[in-house]
Amino acid sequence: MCAATRQPFKPGDHFVATLVESPAGLARVDYSLPAWESGARPGSPAFGVWRSVFQPHALEKKRLFDDDEVLDIFESLASASDERQVRFRYILTLLLARRRLLRIIERKSRNGVTVLTVKRRGEADLPAIEVTAPDLTEEALADCMEQLGRVIDEGGQAPGGAG
C-alpha cells in the first residue's frame, strides 16, 4: 500500500521503497511511483531508497527484503556522510558478508580507522568497494546487527507496510 495515497499496489505496479527510522526501530515505507514523483517522502530521513515492482507472491516471502533489495540499499548508501547512515552501511556490509553476497577481500587501517574492501559475489571484474568502519563498541555493534537482522529477515509484512 502506498504510504501517501493509502491505495493498494496492483501486480506489476512500480513503486519506491524506503527504509526509515521510526520510534520502534527501522521500518520500510513504500510509495507509488506517481506519488514519489509528485514529491511524497517519508517524514524522517531515509537510510535507503530503491525502486521495485509489486509482485503478489512477495506477500508470501519469509524475508521482508530479498537479497537484491538489500544490495540495492547497500549501494544507495555509497555516498552517505550522515554518521547513522555510515554505521548502518557498515553493519549492512557485515550482514551481506555473512549471507555471502559480499566478500571481504581486505581489512586495513587508514589513519586509525578500519576500512573494509569488499566485492559483490560473482562480480570479480568490477572495482572493489571500500566501507569505513564506524566507531562502535562490540555491544553496540551486536545490538545493531540484531536489529538489522530482525528488520530484514522478519516475514509477514507485505510491501507497503510502515513498520
Residue 159 banded pLDDT, cuts 50, 70, 90: very low
What are the two backbone dihedrals, phi and then psi, of residue 71, each rounded to the nearest 5 degrees? -65, -35
pLDDT at 93 over 50: yes
Give the pLDDT confidence score for residue 158 in this predicted structure. Answer: 39
Give the pLDDT confidence score for residue 6 in this predicted structure. Answer: 93
Give the pLDDT confidence score for residue 31 in this predicted structure. Answer: 93
The b/e string for 44-64 (b: 16+ C-beta within 10 A; e otherwise) is eebbbbbebebeeebeeeeeb
Residue 132's nearest CA partner among 87, 76, 77, 102 is: 87
What are the two backbone dihedrals, phi and then psi, of residue 112, each rounded to the nearest 5 degrees? 80, 5
- 2 in Cβ contact with 36 (< 8 Å): no
User: Using one digit for the tens of pLDDT, what is the confidence trace for 3-52?
Assistant: 999 999 998 899 998 888 776 667 788 999 999 999 999 887 777 788 88
Give CA–CA dist 163/158, Å, rounded.
10
Give the pLDDT confidence score for residue 30 in this predicted structure. Answer: 92
User: Using one digit for the tens of pLDDT, what is the confidence trace for 54-89?
Assistant: 887 654 545 566 778 778 888 888 887 777 778 888
Give the pLDDT confidence score for residue 157 in this predicted structure. Answer: 39
Question: Model pTM?
Answer: 0.55
Give the pLDDT confidence score for residue 57 in this predicted structure. Answer: 67
Give the pLDDT confidence score for residue 36 in this predicted structure. Answer: 94
**Single-letter residue type at 82:** D
